[in-house]
Structures are given as C-alpha cells and as structure tokens.
Amino acid sequence: MKLLHFAPLFLLAPGATLAAPVDREQALKLSNVVITANRQVEDRAQSSAANTVFTREDIDRLQPTNITDLLTRVPGLQVARTGGRGSVPGIFIRGTKTAQSLVLVDGMRVANATSGDSGLQFLNIDQIERVEVLRGSRSAVYGSDAIGGVIQIFTRRSADQGLQPRLKISAGSQHTWQRSLGLSGGDQHTRFNLGASLDESDGINDTYQSYASDKDHDAYRAKAFNLSLSHQFTDNLEAGVNLLDSRGRSEYDNPYGRFDMTTFESFGQKPYTDFTVSSLGTFLAAQVTDSWHSRLELGHSENRDKKRDKLSPETSAFNTYRDSVTWQNDLALDERNSLMLGGDWFEDRVHASEHLSEDSRWNRAAFIQHRFKGESFATELGVRRDQNQQFGGQTTWSGSLSLPVNADNEVLFSYSEGFRAPTFNDLYYPDYSNPDLKPERSKSYEVQWRSDLSSSTRLEASVYRTDLRDAIIFGAGSIPRNVASARINGFEAALHQELLGWQGTLGLSLIDPRDRDNGHTLARRARSTLSLDLDRQFDQLGVGASWQAVSSSYDDEANTRKIGGYGLFGLRSSWALTREVKLEMKLDNLFDQTSSRALYSYEGQYHGYREDGRTWMLGVTWTPAL
C-alpha cells in the first residue's frame, strides 16, 4: 500500500475546477460512454481501451437468450460451449483462456476462486442493464485475471422518475419458459429497481455417443432476484446498494462416467449442479472539492457449486466467498492533467468437500494513473502494485499515446502488462496441485485506429500482440506447472453503419494464437470469426437478423483433434401492439446447423458436444403506465 502514502501530496497540487460530475446511474443508459476502463464515466472515443458496450436498448433489440449469446457479438471474443443451456462455456478474449479474463458484476469479482469459472451462464439477461467488454490487459487497474480483458455486468436500473412496472413472459422450443417482473422508479433524490425472474427448460441431450444414462435431456432451472437503490443526500454526496442473486439447478452429461476404485470399472451417471452466483455491493460517492471526486465501494460475492448424482450418493462442493473494499480518487490537476489513485483489498475463502491445505488468502493493492489531454496528443500512464498472501508482490504497468490525425481519425499506441494468480485448485487440491506455482504473466502491445468515415459510419480497428509466460499447464500426473509460453497475434475490427434506416454492426477477428515451445495453435481458439447484425424499425414493427461465422479449431494442445467451423443465422422481430404491450419473436440457427465447439472422449473415440439446433422463442412484455 506504499503508493497510498503519496496521496496527500497530490491533494496539495493546484487544481482547476473539475467539470460537473457525470451521473453514473444515468450514464448506464448511454451507449457513447464506458465505465469499466478506468472505473469512472468517460467518453468511449477517449478511452485507451478497445471496448464494446451493450445497453439495455441493445439487449432488447438483439433479443439474446443469455449473456454468452450477447458476448459472441464482441470482436475478438469467442465462446466454446459444452452443451445446451446452463453448460459451462469457455470464454476466450483475444486468444486467452477463460480464467485469464476478469468478470465483474456491479464492480464485484464473481469468479469461483477454485475453478476460475465466473458462472456467466447462470445470469438472467432480463436483469441486466448493461454489459461492457474491454479487450486487452487491464491489470494495471484491476490486478489479477485481467490479462485478456474485462467483462463487467451492470444490473437493471431505474429509467425515469415515478413508478415503472414491467412483466415479461416468453415460451419457446425445448419446453422453455422465461418469466420476469420488475418495478423501478424514484424521484430527483432516490432511485430504485426491483426485479425477479424464473427460467425453466427441458434442455437437450448434451452428448451423442455416451452411457445410456446420458441419453436424457439435460434440464435447466434458475431463479434470480436483483435490487438497486441509490440516494442523493446532497449535490455532492450519493450512496447506494446493488444486489444480484441467481440460483438453481443445471443438469449435464458426464461421458467419462464414475470410476469405481474397487472394481476398476466406470459407470454412467445422471449428474447435476446446484449453483448460486451472487454479489452485494455498496458505495459512497462524494464530490469532496471542485477538483476531487472520491468513491468508496464495499462488496461481498459468492460462487457456490455443489455437484450431485441421481444414481449414486456421490457429491462434491466448491464454494467460494469474497469480501472486498475499493477506494478510488479522481483528481483534476489542471485543464489538461488528471490523476486517478486508490487502493483495493479483497479476501477469498473456500469451503470445499475436498480438504485443501489452505482455504483463504488476501490481496491488497494500490494503483495510480496519470492522464494528459493536449491539442495534438494525449497520454495515459498507470502502475499498480499487488501484494498477495500466497505469491507475494506483483507490479504491472500500462501506458498509451493517442495521436489525432484529423477531426475524424485517431491512432492510439498502447503497452500493458498483466498477470493471473493461480486458483486454489491449482495450489492446494490434494494430490493434483503445486503450492510453488507463480502467477501467469503477460505483455501486450497494441495499435488502434478509430475513424468516423462519415456521419453514419464508425470504424474501430486494432492490431495487437500478447506474449504470455509462466503459463500454467497440467503435466505428468495432472500436476500443474509454470512451463508454457504463448504468443498471440491478432487483428480485430468493428464497423457500425446506418443506411436507409437500417442499423448494421459488423465484427471481424483474425488471430494467430501459438504455443511458443512447439508452434501449435492454442486449443479451442478459432483463427477467424465474423458476426453481423442488421436491424430496422418500421413504426411499431422492428425486424432484425444475425449471422455468425467461426472457422475451425483444435480441441487439444497437440493439434491432433480438429473441430469444424460453423455458421449460424437467426431472425428476430418485435411488434408494439400498444404503448404498454410489445410482442417479441425470434428464430435462432434457422438452418438447423449441428455445430460443436468442444470434444469429449467415450470408449476411445472423440465426439463433439451437442448444441442447440433450430430454436424459437415468443414473448410478450407488458409495461403498464401508473
């Protein structure tokens, strides 16, 4: 925490009057700002981070089934599922693995500290106000895990003053039912939102060739509740609380079966997971002086996972609990210079059915970042120091230089470092761990080009390189080791176009992710992806279409098992019957393509996990006026 000792020196620096602070709660409705990049509201065009933002308006227009469906539209982000609804997805941002990207809910870390999985597949899309995705390392701001990028989810917020109730009911294929209701409102000082939901689906059979017990449909059921409340005590003081709790049951197939140590035989199972993903955060924000804004956040999150089997008494539980505190100060030193500095602390605790030699650890950190905005260039320089109970200290740096070419074009050069702390399973799982593991580390270099090609055309493109070292792999005896290194080169572009009333978004990603030791392509990373969304509103009628194309990849690090590429096409429509009633219809995977994004082994043969074929959904939303 040594950097915090210098805070009084910065507070004594002469400062110009800071512009009126942006209302953070209202900013969540805006598409032209980003909050996650520096934990403060800023213009997307002025952020040094390559970013994608989905507002509630975007979510309603695109009609995604869940958050992972929404994320497939982000350039440079790939999703590899292992079955239907509720299955664990692999999320690869710029070629990095799932655990190398940080996931936040209202500023709170939610990933399971034992597995590294964040449980995004369990969150209900109707309770989400906004999703922001940063592509590229942000460890200088957030510390561990933010090597590939950061995904932040903001829960539903109040829209206007007064009371606004809402009710939505949807039905679809696989006996799927989605129900949600909410109430939001407030006045000029207080705003609130309450929401609840229930999702149920019979699901699909996740596997092809497997045990007879795996031939059933794998059902999914989740119930969720969210609350947001904020109050403006004075013009300069605001406090609030945000809560999200999602829990339920997800069935899945286990083609590897249950191994009996007595008979040395494997038996089929009917496994399922009882899950809980929850986050609770409170904040106090103050405009201390004209040039100093301070924000204090306290949080608690839980990620609980208990696996059971309908055919045996076998159970396993891995529950993690996290408490956190963040204090951030934003200072305007003068008209061109600003400073962000603060500190983080969090503690992880594990309650597991397996005895771990250590079941808790803390992490404390200090960070500072300077920003300069001139007429001919802009700079950003940041550093963060983490001190961890298990692996000691880690320092990460980041810097960027922005050069406006003209009024419509800008080139941005950046460098960033990242790291990821090993999970509790990596370090302490009995007989399959290594307590001497070091953090994974990365260095990234990037050039961005941002251009307003016309009043209706916006292009954002990036060329980047990421070098990974001390990567953790599982060697002989499934013992993790720091031996791997990787190099990821990539290009990504996002084009936003409005033409003749149509709104189009095109995303393209080309990557070359390689193991530097043997030259092989990293597992489950497709070299090219393309996504396209087209939408148009005709008075009360809205229509849209989506197309996604993904090239082939390999399921293993040795590149011996190939996964074929695929293309998915979907249609959607909405019809506002009245001001209070709207119908929504969508048809996904119109051509019923059978695609697999991961493989499994059964009786010596490899097969692809089954995914949803053609699916449909019909819903009605009622927002009565009070």
How do residues 442-469 score in pLDDT, each as one tens digit?
Answer: 999 999 999 999 989 999 999 999 999 9
So what's the pLDDT on residue 474? 79
> Which pLDDT score is estimated for 6?
36
Fold of 2-622: Maltoporin; Chain A (2.40.170)
Mean pLDDT of 539-545: 95
Say what the pLDDT of residue 24 is. Answer: 83
Instruction: Encode pLDDT of 151-208 as tens digits.
Output: 999 999 987 778 999 999 999 999 999 999 999 998 889 999 999 999 999 999 989 8
What pLDDT, on the 0 to 100 scale, is given for residue 22? 61
Q: How confident is the model at residue 15 (pLDDT cuts 50, 70, 90)?
A: very low
Q: What is the pLDDT of residue 3?
A: 40
Is it the case that residue 510 has pLDDT exceeding 50?
A: yes
Residues 6 or more apart whose Cβ sits within 8 Å of residue 392: none
> Which pLDDT score, from 0 to 100, does residue 477 have?
65
How far is residue 229 from each of residues 51, 85, 226, 239, measured CA to CA in Å?
27, 31, 10, 8
What are the tens digits of pLDDT across the range 588-621? 999 988 778 888 888 888 998 888 889 999 999 9
Residue 311 has pLDDT above 50, yes or no: yes
Would you state the pLDDT for residue 286? 96
Q: What is the pLDDT of residue 590?
A: 93
pLDDT in tens, 337-366: 999 999 999 999 999 998 888 999 999 999
Q: Where are the alpha helices (DSSP H) in 273-429?
A: 424-428
**pLDDT the model gives residue 261:** 66
Query: Quick one: tokens of 372?
Result: 């300069």
Shortest CA distance to 439 belongs to which of 365, 383, 386, 489? 386
Q: Please state, rounded to an integer, the average pLDDT across all residues of the chain.
A: 91
pLDDT on residue 476? 61
d(CA 169, CA 160): 23
Q: What is the pLDDT of residue 5?
A: 39
Q: Is 116 left (phi over 0), alpha (psi -120 to 50) or beta?
A: left
Q: Are 285 and 238 in contact (CB under 8 A)?
A: yes
251: pLDDT confidence band, cut at 50, 70 and 90?
Answer: very high
Straight-line distance from the first to the last Cα atom of the chain, in angstroms, rounded to the nearest whole number: 51
Q: Could you say which DSSP state residue 49 is in?
A: S
CB-based contact 349:424 (threshold 8 Å): no
**What is the pLDDT at residue 20?**
41
Between β-strands 237-251 and 220-234, what pairing exists: parallel, antiparallel or unpaired?
Answer: antiparallel
Local structure of residue 335 (DSSP, 8 states) = S
Helix (H, G, I), strand (E, B) or coil at 142: helix
β 392-406/378-388 pair status: antiparallel
pLDDT for the residue numbered 482: 87
pLDDT beyond 80 at 550: yes
Q: Tokens at residue 496, please?
A: 């936003």
The predicted structure's pLDDT at residue 16: 35
This model's pTM is above 0.85: yes
Q: Which phi and psi (to 5°) does residue 214 adopt?
A: -90, 0
d(CA 388, CA 563): 39
pLDDT band at 577 (very low <50, low <70, confident <90, very high): very high
50-68 average pLDDT score: 95
Dmax over CA atoms of the chain, in Å, equals 77
DSSP 120-141: GGGS-GGGEEEEEEEES--HHH
Confidence of residue 1 (pLDDT cuts 50, 70, 90): very low
Are 118 and 103 in contact by the 8 Å Cβ rule? The answer is yes
Is residue 13 scored above 80 in pLDDT?
Answer: no
| pLDDT class of 289 with cuts at 50, 70, 90 | very high
Average pLDDT in the 284-310 region?
95
Closest CA to 100 of 393, 460, 444: 444
| pLDDT score, position 392 | 87
Q: What is the rounded CA–CA span in Å between residue 171 and residue 178? A: 6
- Dist CA 142 CA 139 (whole Å): 5
Tell me the average pLDDT across 14-26: 54
Average pLDDT over residues 513-527: 91
Cα–Cα dist 101/118, whole Å: 10
Cβ distance 59 to 125 under 8 Å?
yes
pLDDT at 426 over 80: yes
Average pLDDT over residues 234-261: 91
Strands 528-538 and 541-550: antiparallel
Residue type, 329: N
pLDDT-derived band at 18, boundaries 50, 70, 90:
very low
Torsion angle of the four alpha carbons 577, 173, 507, 488, in this order, in degrees rounded to the nearest 10: 150
Question: Is residue 12 predicted with pLDDT exceeding 60?
Answer: no
